[in-house]
Amino acid sequence: MSQTLLKVKGLKVAYGGIQAVKGVDFEVREGELVTLIGSNGAGKTTTMKAITGLLPINAGDIEYLGQSIRGRGPWDLVKQGLAMVPEGRGVFTRMTITENLQMGAHIRKDTAGIAQDIDKVFTIFPRLKERRDQLAGTMSGGEQQMLAMGRALMSRPKVLLMDEPSMGLSPIMVDKIFEVVKDVYAQGVTVLLVEQNASRALAIADRGYVMDSGMITMSGEARQMLDDPKVRAAYLGE
């Protein structure tokens, strides 16, 4: 069995005076695509922010590569191979596409490798290549999502966390984003995907966890969860 890269143990996080995450346990093993699904306000994004050091933890622990990363800053975690594509994309609007991608590689010194990886991102996202000198703030939401994903890949992550990558996008763009998630995973990057589009997420994942009111209420093989009547009724609109 492959090693556990990321382990969340008894995680509790309070956000704005509310206990948003109430003792969550889950793990992501090397080479897996794991999805965390649940309705809006279930605590998924708060969990992701806690893992990446953007929010303080009240209780519990997060282990990455067998070591506790509680209290570590996002910049430190990126150096260790833990990168996130945040909800809302968070691109640098006053920088060009190329400059945004270079920012994604700020922890690296291998100039030739960085140039190579920018070309690789442009192969995955030809639309970004066409607009490489355009300011990120002038792009559509879907294009910004592509850029956010490309920028995260520039750090050559071991584990890529994606928070709601399909939110607010057109159906065609949603198809493209899920294709890219599958491609990234196929290239050997371990992925933790938070997604409201539960059916699409479970269709490409190895395993899934359902989060509701700050707790994990169900987990299992993604294919089995897709066929589970309770999951279908609650999250797949059936």
Q: What is the pTM of this model?
A: 0.92
- Count of domains in the chain? 1
Q: Has residue 13 been placed in a domain? A: no
Q: Has residue 15 been placed in a domain? A: no
Q: Has residue 64 been placed in a domain? A: no
pLDDT tens-digit map of 33-83: 999 999 888 999 999 999 999 999 999 999 999 999 998 988 889 999 999
Q: Has residue 68 been placed in a domain? A: no
Q: Has residue 17 been placed in a domain? A: no
The DSSP annotation for the chain comes to: -PPEEEEEEEEEEEETTEEEEEEEEEEEETT-EEEEE--TTSSHHHHHHHHTTSS--SEEEEEETTEE-TT--HHHHHHTTEEEE-TT----TTSBHHHHHHHHTTT---HHHHHHHHHHHHHH-HHHHHTTTSBGGGS-HHHHHHHHHHHHHTT--SEEEEESTTTT--HHHHHHHHHHHHHHHHTT-EEEEEES-HHHHHHH-SEEEEEETTEEEEEEEHHHHHH-HHHHHHHS--
Asked if residue 104 lies in contact with residue 151, where contact means CB atoms within 8 angstroms, the answer is yes
Domain span holding position 39: 31-44+73-235
CATH for 215:
3.40.50.300
pLDDT value at 164 more than 80: yes
pLDDT value at 238 more than 60: no
Mean per-residue pLDDT over the chain, rounded: 92
Q: Has residue 10 been placed in a domain? A: no
Mean pLDDT, to the nearest integer, of 15-27?
A: 91
pLDDT value at 166 more than 80: yes
Q: Has residue 175 been placed in a domain? A: yes
pLDDT at 237: 61
Q: Has residue 151 been placed in a domain? A: yes
User: What share of the chain has pLDDT > 70, as a percent?
Assistant: 98
pLDDT tens-digit map of 170-184: 899 899 899 989 988
